[in-house]
């Protein structure tokens, strides 16, 4: 089974636009679980423009599925994650002002830094995943950092899927095989949607989790959150 983790950052963005508590982020998280999501993902950025650090602490006792916190491992992020103790932390290399994650880690360049922060998370019993592109050398080196999983950055798959899906997925299949050989669990995310998800899930061996935010929340505007989550779950069945 492939887990669907719903990224609820967009709900926080909408809430923050008006300064009140609508939509209610905590209720949305609980409802996503009730509607069948296997996990909730948040990406608290240092400027707190969507999910805030306080949201993370408020969400923690409410989430009964897998809680995944993404972010750049700054000092304050490491502290937050070690205190909140989610199921999983996903480390991304993006600078604080990035609109959204826009690249995977250069593992070779950051190997000692990643090793150090990953060992800290592992001491707190938190599963670690690192966001990465399909470069095979990078994936081989990821296993040296002590990470449990890698999350494949699927933006290029989503972009090229529209023109040639076989070509779009080829590098991802090789990357998945290499991750498997290295004993790394495999997650994936970014720009996955109702159109491209099923093909990805069918073609990628041993995929454990997809984390989806933007398209899923956009679809929910038209289709409703419960229905949308069910439709995404359906794409993961084959």
Task: List active site positions.
Answer: 43, 70, 190
CA dist 94 and 86 (Å) reads 21
User: By CB under 6 A, is residue 28 in contact with ligand PXP?
Assistant: no
User: By CB under 6 A, is residue 149 in contact with ligand PXP?
Assistant: no
Which residues, including other chains, have CB under 8 Å from residue 162's CB and lie 6 or more apart?
A: none
Residue 31: CA atoms inside 13 Å, Cβ hemisphere, count?
Answer: 15
CA dist 74 and 200 (Å) reads 32
Helix (H, G, I), strand (E, B) or coil at 28: helix
Q: Which C-beta is closer to ligand PXP: that of 88 or that of 141?
A: 88
**Of 16-24, 176-184, 186-194, 219-227, which segment contacts ligand PXP by CB under 6 A?**
186-194
Please give the C-alpha separations between residue 188 and each of 59, 116, 215, in angstroms, as whole numbers: 23, 24, 15
Contact pattern from residue 119 through residue 148 relative to ligand PXP, giving x for each residue in contact according to CB under 6 A and a dash for the rest: ------------x-----------------
Q: Which C-beta is closer to ligand PXP: that of 185 or that of 213?
A: 213
Q: Which one among 16, 100, 110, 143 touches ligand PXP, defined by CB under 6 A?
A: 100
Q: Which one among 33, 55, 66, 70 touches ligand PXP, defined by CB under 6 A?
A: 70
User: By CB under 6 A, is residue 212 in contact with ligand PXP?
Assistant: yes
User: By CB under 6 A, is residue 172 in contact with ligand PXP?
Assistant: no
Dihedral (CA of 108, 111, 114, 118) sign: positive
Q: Which C-beta is closer to ligand PXP: that of 103 or that of 136?
A: 103
User: Cα angle at 63 between 213 and 22, to 5 degrees?
Assistant: 60
CB atoms within 10 A of CB 20: 9
Q: Which C-beta is closer to ligand PXP: that of 80 or that of 215?
A: 215
User: By CB under 6 A, is residue 50 in contact with ligand PXP?
Assistant: no
Residue appearing with tokens 């963005």? 13
| Residues contributing to the site for ligand PXP (CB under 6 A) | 7, 9, 43, 70, 90, 92, 100-101, 131, 151, 189-192, 211-215
């Amino acid at each position: 089974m492939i887990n669907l983790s719903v990224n609820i950052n967009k709900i926080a963005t909408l809430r923050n636009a008006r300064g009140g508590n609508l939509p209610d982020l905590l209720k949305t998280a609980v409802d996503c679980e009730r509607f069948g999501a296997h996990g909730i993902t948040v990406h608290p950025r240092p400027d707190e423009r969507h999910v805030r650090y306080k949201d993370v602490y408020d969400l923690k006792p409410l989430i009964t599925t897998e809680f995944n916190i993404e972010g750049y491992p700054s000092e304050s992020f490491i502290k937050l994650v070690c205190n909140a103790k989610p199921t999983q932390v996903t480390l991304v290399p993006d600078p604080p002002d990035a609109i959204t994650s826009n690249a995977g880690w250069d593992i070779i360049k950051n190997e000692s830094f990643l090793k150090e922060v990953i060992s800290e998370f592992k001491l707190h019993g938190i599963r670690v995943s690192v966001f990465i592109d399909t470069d095979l050398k990078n994936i081989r080196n990821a296993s040296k950092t002590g990470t449990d999983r890698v999350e494949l950055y699927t933006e290029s798959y989503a972009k090229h899927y529209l023109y040639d899906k076989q070509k779009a997925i080829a590098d991802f299949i090789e990357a998945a095989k290499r991750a498997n050989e290295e004993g790394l669990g495999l997650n994936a995310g970014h720009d996955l949607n109702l159109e491209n998800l099923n093909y990805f899930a069918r073609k990628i061996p041993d995929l454990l989790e997809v984390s989806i935010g933007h398209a899923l929340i956009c679809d929910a505007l038209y289709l409703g959150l419960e229905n949308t989550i069910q439709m995404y779950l359906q794409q993961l069945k084959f």
